[in-house]
């Protein structure tokens, strides 16, 4: 038997109506055996559990990143609220001029002040 015939035989043995005794007999006649070493099951289990640890570590990393992001985001929102309250108390309104820190200037002069062209 060549490799293609052996492959077809193994694939056909997966069918529900295939005779397992006949298939294993044919493979034994060809001198093919699938005996695994004693450490095979341990190696497979080690690979499976190590993959689980990697997924668990990635999940923990994402969880801690979300926690850090929310702490930074909440702090940023609090700082923005404090800034808006201070602008309102200082200027008495939330106008464009109060955000820029300008009081009695014309709107055309804002462009001059921002660009530095006097």
CA distances from 38 to 15, 43, 46, 51, 112 (A): 28, 10, 14, 22, 83
* 9, part of any domain: yes
Domain count, the chain: 1
* 67, part of any domain: no
Rounded-to-integer distance, Cα 56 and Cα 64, Å: 12
* 29, part of any domain: yes
pLDDT tens per residue across span 67-82: 999 999 999 999 988 8
Q: Please report the pLDDT score of residue 37 as a whole number.
A: 80
Instruction: Classify residue 19 as left (phi > 0), alpha (psi -120 to 50) or beta.
Output: beta
Structure tokens at 31: 């001198």
Residue 25 has pLDDT above 60, yes or no: yes
Percent of the chain with pLDDT over 70: 68
The pTM for the full model equals: 0.35
pLDDT tens per residue across span 28-86: 777 777 677 888 888 887 877 766 656 677 788 888 999 999 999 999 999 988 888 88
Range of the domain at 8: 1-35
* 13, part of any domain: yes
């Amino acid at each position: 038997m060549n490799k293609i015939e052996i492959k077809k035989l193994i694939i056909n043995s997966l069918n529900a109506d295939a005779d397992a005794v006949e298939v294993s007999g044919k493979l034994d006649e060809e001198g093919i055996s699938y005996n695994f070493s004693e450490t095979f099951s341990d190696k497979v289990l080690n690979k499976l559990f190590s993959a689980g640890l990697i997924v668990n570590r990635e999940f923990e990393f994402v969880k801690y990143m979300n926690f850090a992001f929310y702490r930074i985001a909440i702090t940023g929102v609090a700082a923005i609220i404090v800034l808006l309250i201070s602008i309102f108390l200082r200027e008495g309104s939330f106008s464009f001029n109060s955000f820029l820190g300008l009081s009695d200037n014309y709107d055309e002069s804002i462009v001059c002040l921002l660009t530095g062209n006097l």
